[in-house]
């Protein structure tokens, strides 16, 4: 089969690799019909993660089951499923309390298997370990292009940003980083009715979309060359004390440090971004503010809910899919997504 293979930092290729096979009785094999590229895939290519070389990357997808292991009882060949970006068993101590990202059935308790430790979804076929609890059924009324966006980013934005950040009605929210996961956090924050959502980014196009299509009430450019006093502008919107909730959705030290500056005493800083380097924690400035700082991998416990909200017309994710490609255009899709600002790209939808 053809797949996007990782060969080390900066090295990838769309090439032939062996078809996946059943290795455990809980495995399933899925023919990928729709996939996409995630910001974490770009982090892989930069060398920011410990991803194994020689595997297909990617952890988001929609497809049809073509083979099931002998121990699979609830899924059948021919059924269409959404791939969960996290592999989980559903029965270990961590899974039972909803911390599926630390599933003990996964090697070293690391649920990020697909496109990290084993071949993932940017391929014609993928093997999914623990397939019954690592997929969602595709409901009626949800397109592949919508469903693939629930494989990761919308649940990530909601779980790691909105829920962990303790967003609730009437609160003020700042989201630093209006890329795909930041926009997903903004969109899902609207489900809980905060009074203010301020989108912050360098990119004016993304800021415009944050307001017009994703639910932000305000947008502020944080490019210091254009707006050196951007934090003052944000405080003019949320109040001089800062915001109740500040989310980091970039993955660089400067944006996390800005979160610490902009959160009000007693507020929440929710780190969503993937950081490739250590970040210093300015304890001297933080400890008297009584703030809560959260971070972590998505558990994907809200994936089915996201699909239900889309099917019901409550959650509109369509604006996130800005570009369309075929699988054999994978390298072109990476070129567009890797230069997102130049191409006004959010998520690329890649189909069979």
246 and 271 within one domain: yes
pLDDT band of residue 173 (cuts 50, 70, 90) is very high
Same domain, 164 and 285: yes
Rounded Cα distance, 157 and 232, in Å: 26
CA distance 38 to 19: 23
- pLDDT-derived band at 206, boundaries 50, 70, 90: very high
Could you tell me if residue 255 is left (phi over 0), alpha (psi between -120 and 50 degrees) or otherwise beta?
alpha
Task: Identify the domain containing residue 52 by its residue range.
Answer: 2-152+299-351
Report helix, strand or coil for 145: helix
CATH number where 271 lies? 3.40.50.720
**pLDDT classification of 200: cutoffs 50, 70, 90:** very high
- Indicate the residue among 276, 295, 314 that finishes a domain: 295
Q: What pLDDT does residue 242 have?
A: 98
In this structure, the answer to whether residues 68 and 195 fall within a common structural domain is no
Q: Whose CA is closest to 148, among 138, 162, 159, 156? A: 138
- Judge whether 108 and 309 are in contact, CB under 8 Å: no
258 and 123 share one domain:
no
* pLDDT interval class at 88 (50, 70, 90): very high
* pLDDT of 315: 98
Question: For position 285, what pLDDT does the model report?
Answer: 87
Average pLDDT rounded to a whole number, residues 174-199: 98
Q: Are residues 165 and 220 in the same domain?
A: yes
Domain boundary pick from 254, 270, 295: 295
Counted domains in the chain: 2
Domain shared by 242 and 311, yes or no: no
- The reply to whether 45 and 147 lie within a common domain is yes
pLDDT number for residue 275: 86
18 and 129 part of one domain: yes
CA dihedral 148, 149, 154, 156 (to 10 degrees): 60
User: In terms of domains, do 246 and 173 share one?
Assistant: yes
Give me the residues paired with residue 2 across strands: 16
**Is pLDDT of 345 > 90?**
yes
Which of 270, 295, 320 lies at the terminal end of a domain, its last residue?
295
* Token pair belonging to 119: 């071949």
Q: Residue 162 gets which letter from DSSP?
A: I
Co-location of 22 and 114 in the same domain: yes
Is it the case that residue 60 has pLDDT exceeding 90? yes
- Tell me what percent of the residues of the chain surpass a pLDDT of 90: 95
72-81 confidence digits (pLDDT tens): 999 999 999 9
Please tell me the pTM assigned to this model: 0.95
Same domain, 277 and 210: yes
User: pLDDT at residue 289 above 90?
Assistant: yes
CATH (domain of 88): 3.90.180.10
Whether residue 237 is found in the same domain as residue 332: no
């Amino acid at each position: 089969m053809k797949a996007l293979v990782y060969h080390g930092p900066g090295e990838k290729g769309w090439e032939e690799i062996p078809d996946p096979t059943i290795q455990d009785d809980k495995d399933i094999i899925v023919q990928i019909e729709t996939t996409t590229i995630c910001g974490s895939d770009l982090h892989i290519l930069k060398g920011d993660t410990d991803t194994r070389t020689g595997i297909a990357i990617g952890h988001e997808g929609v497809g049809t089951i073509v083979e099931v292991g002998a121990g699979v009882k609830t899924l059948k060949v021919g059924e269409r499923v959404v791939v969960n970006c996290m592999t989980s068993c559903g029965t270990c101590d961590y899974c039972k309390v909803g911390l599926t990202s630390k599933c003990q059935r996964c090697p070293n308790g690391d649920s990020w298997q697909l496109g990290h430790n084993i071949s993932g979804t940017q391929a014609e076929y993928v093997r999914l370990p623990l397939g019954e609890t690592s997929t969602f059924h595709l409901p009626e009324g949800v397109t592949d292009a919508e469903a693939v966006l629930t494989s990761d980013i919308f649940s990530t934005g909601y779980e790691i940003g909105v829920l962990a950040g303790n967003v609730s009605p009437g609160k003020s929210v700042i989201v630093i980083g209006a890329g795909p996961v930041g926009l997903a956090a903004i969109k899902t924050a609207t489900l809980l009715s905060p009074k203010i959502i301020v989108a912050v980014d360098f990119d004016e196009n993304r800021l415009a979309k944050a307001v017009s299509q994703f639910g932000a009430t305000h947008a502020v450019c944080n490019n210091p060359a254009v707006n050196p006093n951007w934090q003052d502008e944000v405080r003019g919107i949320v109040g001089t004390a800062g915001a109740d909730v500040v989310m980091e959705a970039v993955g660089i030290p400067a944006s996390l440090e800005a979160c610490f500056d902009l959160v009000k005493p007693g507020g929440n800083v929710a780190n969503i971004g993937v950081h490739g380097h250590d970040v210093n924690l300015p304890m001297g400035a933080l400890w008297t503010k009584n703030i809560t700082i959260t971070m972590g991998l998505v558990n994907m416990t809200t994936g089915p809910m996201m699909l239900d909200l889309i099917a019901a017309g409550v959650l509109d994710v369509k604006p996130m899919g800005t570009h369309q490609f075929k699988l054999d255009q994978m390298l072109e899709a990476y070129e567009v997504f890797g230069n997102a600002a130049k191409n006004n790209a959010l998520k690329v939808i890649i189909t069979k």
